[in-house]
Structure 1
Amino acid sequence: MPRTSLPADALAAATARLEYFTPRWPEGRQPVHTCYVPADRVHPDVVTEWGAQALAALEGHVPSPEGLTELLDLEPALAADVHAGVRAKLAAEPVEDLRIDFEDGYGSRPDAEEDADAERTALLVRAWLDAGVAPGRFGVRIKSFDTPELVRRGVRTLDVFLTALGGPPPGFVITFPKVTSRRQVEVFGDVLDLFGVPLRFEVQVETTRSVVDASGLLALPGYLEAGRGRVSGLHFGTYDYTAGCGLGAAHQHLAHSACDFARHVMQLAAAGRGVELSDGSTNVLPVGDAVREGWRTHYRLVRRSLAHGFHQGWDLHPAQLVTRYAAVHAYHREGLATSAARLRAYAERVAGAVLDEPATAQALSETFVRALDCGALTPEEVNAVTGLGVPELRNLARRGR
């Protein structure tokens, strides 16, 4: 019994102003990347073409695990597993998320031309859906709301696209670029309400005003509130953001500390809100005589993103798929035995050198689920090292959800 007894009415009064936070979590599988393709370059076989070009690059430059060992400084055994996994992934599912781009990659065009591309690409997506070959996630990036003309054109493109598509199917998402104010997010949500169907969108964090507003406050929490539950993701935009910070061209890259600050704010704003995070792109492409340099740069940046908790990023060229999947697979396979032992010990309640909290067990489980979702590990491999089946892993990963 307590030595004192607190009056119930006094306790109620003391706690009356408490606000209780109920976390929300992203729904479904998060892709490891988003491939941005200008709308005029989207054709019926664009996804298989990206996969074929990526496979050709793999076979042309690193046809064996030994080549991957040298290129990415991987241990031979790990390189063998990663090489086989990347080849299988590129053959089966090269693109996890496709964004049809009507913004920077597409540019400004006559209304008739953009209308035609919006309708044509929507019909292509519909054909993919009917044939069962659409990427797991897909959508459009419209123009920003920087000027009245861009607002008009962006909304019109979305209207034409959705009309031709016949409404938003599962997996459809809209990318809203260059957001500079909470009011833009509010207005965009009002516009989406006019369609009369549930529509979610990603906010691209590529302006300084997306991170800190004009009054000096962090802007992103307000953006998520203004989205009224519609915001599904925050995507970082490397080059607009670094240019906005005044960085010179030589310092406009994902590893710059200015980008780290923006990404940390994104993490804080999105935590527990059911909002996914995606890192930006690198313009150092693996093409021509710079294939190996481009691959090393891309691999290093993807691994850095993963270490910072960003499990998704932008890919701008088919050959980047090689190092996207190499980085993701290596990340999930390295330290596999240690992570599995910790998770098994937690599940079996066996005391070891590390006494993990439930939150850590959840994080370990989420890592294995991500590895399964992207094909880095098979259910049989995971079961062999953890003793857990896929349903048990997913239940652990959803602790408290």
Structure 2
Amino acid sequence: MQVTLAHPLAHVPGFAPAHAEQARRYPPRPVAWQPVHTVYVPADAFHRGTVAEWGRAAGSLFAAHLPGSTVLAEVFGEVFGAYAGGDVSEGDLARAVHERVAAKLAGEPVEDLRIDFEDGYGVREPAEEDAHALAAAEAVAAMHAEGTLPRRWGLRVKSFADGDPERSIRTLDGFLTAVTARAGLLPPGFTVTFPKVLMESYLGQFAACLAALEEGLGLAEGTLRFELQVEAPQTVLFLLRSPGLVPSLGGRLAAAHFGVFDYTAALGLPPHEQRLDHPACDHARHVMQTALAGTGVELSDGSLAAVPATDSAHDVHALWRRHAALVRHSLAHGFYQGWDMHPSHLVSRHVTTYAFHLARRGAYAERVRAWQERRAAGDGLLDEPATIKTLAAALARSDLALGEPR
């Protein structure tokens, strides 16, 4: 005999507040567009033509060293060998990727730009950094007017761990004040990267500074958001012990970016082991995924600190293979974004990313259809609802990365 409770919630003490807290910490969100990379440029080297220069440089390397899909398939053999198969041959995949990368480098080589006032810039005299912040703001305003500003953009400020938070906020304040004055608004897509967070309390302090800047600049509440750089063991520890971290920051934490070289150095790894695919880095990335799953905070992997030794085909191809292997490693671990530090990286980034998304679209769509029709997929798979949800998210992510209509 079934017993019906007149007032069910009354018989589950504490459920309502617990469920409300669940919704606050893990609100349901659809898959949204995320850049495949972040390009870092030192502030003193940045100008209004930087993105165009990177696109031309990457395009020249692509044209010179990948003249057709056959060469592309040879150079990136491990990529196409890993991703092709089933109803997508290596040749067909290579042709599709070659066409898309050529168009990407010509039309939108950089999806996310970060003007760097930290490690890539160094310590300068106060007046010099002030001047570079103003010059960067003028360049951004000009790019916005020209329509050349990437969809996502921003700057990386100095760390509070350096002991001089005023310098960090002064640069951000001067930059934002100048951008909004010259552009008449804050162009969409802005974010700021907050590095070397050794103390959890720095995050709340930085969020409070962003709120104060918003008020001073007359920006809508919540406009200024930031990325946490995970590049210290201390950061990994407080991510694990602070499940309420994201909601405590009032929606200002937009992303977490892994910093491979500071992290591996902090662990005492020898120089030749400071690499993105080291097991210690895998551990840090898995902690990031575990701690931030369901929060809506984007994840980004780190970078390769290498460029082609020369402009020869041998050296350029070697660099591309090395970088492509790291991008594949990131994608396999669920990190769909990474850092690029040189125009050559744009080629291997886009080749690997396009191959990853194009190769499995048909197979993923067939598995979703089979589940909807309550039948086994063509290869006999009987997918679980959780897998179907992942497949649907992968298709949505693929559409967004490839620019396909939904």
TM-score by structure 2 length? Answer: 0.86
2 CA distance for matches of 1:36 and 1:228?
Answer: 27
Cα distance between partner residues in 2 of 1:260 and 1:41? 32
1:227-246 map, 5 Å: 227-246=249-268
Moved over 6 A (4+): none
- Shift in CA distance, 326/278, structure 1 to aligned 2, threshold 3 Å: same
The CA deviation at 1:357 is: 3.8
Q: Distance in 1 between matches of 2:57 and 2:194?
A: 29
In the alignment, is residue 89 of structure 1 matched against residue 114 of structure 2? no
How many pairs were matched up? Answer: 373
Identity fraction in percent: 47
The equivalent position to 2:308 in structure 1, one of 275, 286, 309, is 286
**CA distance in 2 between partners of 1:249 and 1:348 (Å):** 53
Query: Does the CA contact (< 8 Å) of 2:42 and 2:121 recur in 1?
Result: yes
Is the alpha carbon distance of 1:7 and 1:28 closer, same or farther for their aligned partners in structure 2, counting shifts above 3 Å?
Answer: closer
CA distance in 1 between counterparts of 2:299 and 2:147 reads: 27
Which residue number in structure 2 is paired with residue 16 of structure 1? 14
Match of residue 399 from structure 2: 372
Residues 88-134 of structure 1: CA deviation (Å, up to 9, x unaligned)? 11111100000010000011111111111111111211222222221
Out of 30, 51, 58, the residue aligned to residue 54 of structure 1 is 58
- State the partner residue of 1:134: 149
The residue number in structure 1 matching 2:337 is: 312
Q: Can you list the C-alpha shifts for 1:247-290, whole angstroms capped at 9, x where unaligned? A: 01011101111001110110011111110000001113234153
For residues 273 and 307 of structure 1, do their structure 2 counterparts lie closer, same or farther at Cα, with a shift above 3 Å needed?
same
Q: Aligned partner of 2:39: which letter?
A: C
- In 2: Cα distance, 1:200 partner to 1:113 partner: 26
Q: Letter of the 1:341 partner, please give it.
A: E
Tell me if the contact between 1:182 and 1:222 (Cα under 8 Å) persists in the aligned partners: no
> Is 1:192 aligned to 2:192, yes or no?
no
Please show how residues 215-364 of structure 1 align to structure 2 within 5 Å: 218-219=240-241, 221=243, 223-288=245-310, 290-352=315-377, 353-364=380-391
SS in structure 1 opposite 2:115? strand
For residue 16 of structure 1, what is the amino acid of its counterpart? G
Between stretches 27-36 and 40-49, larger displacement belongs to: 27-36
Please tell me the root mean square deviation across aligned C-alpha atoms, in Å. Answer: 2.1
Name the CA distance, whole Å, in 2 between partners of 1:371 and 1:249.
36
Deviates more, 1:98-107 or 1:347-356: 347-356
Tell me, yes or no, if the aligned pair for 1:284 and 1:297 is still in contact at 8 Å: no
How far does residue 8 in structure 1 lie from its aligned partner after superposition?
A: 4.9
CA distance in 2, matches of 1:202, 1:27: 19
The equivalences for 1:74-113 within 5 A come to 74=80, 75-113=90-128
Give the 3 Å change call, closer, same or farther, for CA 163–26 of structure 1 in structure 2: farther
Name the structure 2 match of 1:170: 188
Structure 1 gap segments, 5+ residues each = 380-389, 391-401
CA shift in 2, pair 1:13/1:162, >3 Å: same
Contact 1:298 1:324 in 2 (8 A): yes
- Pair 1:123–1:11, CA change in 2 (3 A): closer
Relative to 1, partners in 2 of residues 1:347 and 1:146: Cα closer, same or farther, differing over 3 Å?
same
Is the Cα–Cα contact under 8 Å of residues 209 and 219 in structure 1 kept in the other structure? no
Structure 2: gaps (5+ residues): 81-89
- Give the AA of the match of 2:173: D
> 1:269 and 1:218 mapped to 2: Cα distance?
6
* C-alpha distance 9-371 of structure 1, shift in aligned 2 (>3 A): closer
Q: Does 1:212 align with 2:237?
A: yes
Scaled by the length of structure 1, the TM-score of the pair is 0.87
CA–CA separation in structure 1 for the residues paired with 2:338 and 2:241: 22
Aligned residues of 1:220 and 1:266 also touching (Cα < 8 A): no
Q: Distance in 2 between matches of 1:50 and 1:10?
A: 61
- 8 Å CA contact retained: 2:361, 2:395: no
2:242 and 2:323 map into 1 onto residues whose CA distance is 27
Task: Sort the Cα spacing of 1:294 and 1:264 in 2 relative to 1 into closer, same or farther, 3 A.
Answer: same
1:393 is aligned to none
After TM superposition, give the deviation of residue 84 of structure 1 in Å. Answer: 1.2
